[in-house]
Amino acid sequence: MVSGVGTGRGSSTRDVLYGAAAALFVERGYEDTTMADIAARAGTSRRTAFNHFPSKGDIPMLWTRRMADVAVEVITRSAGDPAPERIRAYFRLISGLVEAEPELTRQMMLGWTAATGPIRYESQLLADLRPLLREGQERGEVAATVDVAEAARTLSDVYMGVVFRWVRDPDALGSFQEVAGGGIDLVLSAVRA
């Protein structure tokens, strides 16, 4: 469950606020939920809510980070596998989390874009993908001529493009995982050694 991703350490105030926000975003929509609503649902004061999340836009940022953290943890356990397979596994895992809660994904992505996430923040995907691609180059799985930073950016751009298309019209896209996986495979085939 994406809304609960990363909350295994016990119920900290931040986790309770995050859970309240996720539930409200699904129920009312991102735009129609205020920080006061989130604080009330979490049983905290507005001040406490703002101490943990200085703006409502910080909540979708945490959502993206938590999903990526789960994916990184999983692919770290498969360190012996070829880098392209680990990259595919990373995206499959994130895609599964995204597809499991479509309305939460939609609302978090609307919040992320409203908070100018795509403009102000470099995608977390880049930081996660660059080391995998670099490792693939060192092992001879990714062509030595490939610019790792550019390959990571292209993978991120392809994936985020699919996410935005799916958020806009989930029915038109079909299986999110299949479309996203196809785009990732296309990029990985271009960088293969």
pLDDT tens per residue, range 16-69: 999 999 999 999 999 999 999 999 999 999 999 999 999 999 999 899 888 888
Q: Which CATH number fits domain 57-191: 1.20.120.1730, 3.90.550.10, 1.10.357.10, 2.60.40.1180?
A: 1.10.357.10
For 13-52, which CATH class?
A: mainly alpha
Predicted confidence (pLDDT) per residue in 74-119, tens digit? 888 888 899 999 999 999 999 998 889 989 999 999 998 887 766 6
Predicted confidence (pLDDT) per residue in 158-183, tens digit? 999 998 888 888 777 778 889 999 99
Q: What is the pLDDT of residue 151?
A: 96
Q: What is the pLDDT of residue 2?
A: 44
- Domain parsing of the chain, residue ranges: 13-52, 57-191
Contacts 24+ apart (CB under 8 A), 135-143: 135/83, 136/82, 136/83, 136/84, 136/87, 136/191, 136/193, 137/193, 139/82, 139/83, 140/193, 141/82, 141/83, 141/84, 141/192, 141/193, 142/83, 142/84, 142/191, 142/192, 142/193, 143/191, 143/192, 143/193
Q: What is the pLDDT of residue 120?
A: 65
Predicted confidence (pLDDT) per residue in 111-150, tens digit? 988 877 666 666 778 888 999 999 999 999 999 999 999 9
